[in-house]
Amino acid sequence: MHPGKFEDLDQYELEHPRRPGKPLPGKLFLKDHLDLSGMQVSLGKMPAGKAVPFLHKHKTNEELYIFVRGKGQIQIDGEVIDVEEGTSVRIAPNGERAWRNTGTEDLYCIVIQAKENSLTQDTFDDGIPCDNQPNWPA
Ligand code: ZN
């Protein structure tokens, strides 16, 4: 999938079923596009001075917010954390959250959502070296 540059994420919007008629621009969910089966991932863009206008939490999924550019804040259960490029924040399902842009440029983040406590193995426990070598075209 090639959804375009982060700066062009405005072309996508979140149509929340519980917020009809109030689309949130700059949000693209990837699960259905990529047939993801164990996680939901979204790409987000927040223009300068803008904020997610509501708090939300989850039933069973934890979320990882990875900020890739810009400056802003994320609020979790009333605690406000400054974020910038590289900031990675894990939020338990029940945490009430929202984020905003406090900078002068766009703020971009990647949000990964997966069932809390569902990971049974990772990285070197799950990865298996292959006998073949990469075969790149010349
Ligand atoms: Zn969420």
Å from CA of 63 to ligand 1 middle: 6
pLDDT of residue 105: 97
Q: What is the pLDDT of residues 67-88, one digit of tens each?
A: 999 999 999 999 999 999 999 9
The C-alpha atoms of residue 96 and residue 83 are separated, in whole angstroms, by 17
pTM attached to this predicted model: 0.93
Q: How confident is the model at residue 15 (pLDDT cuts 50, 70, 90)?
A: confident
With CA atoms as reference, report the closest residue to 114 among 42, 56, 28, 25.
42
Å from CA of 88 to ligand 1 middle: 15
Å from CA of 58 to ligand 1 middle: 6
DSSP 31-51: HHHHT-SS-EEEEEEE-TT-B
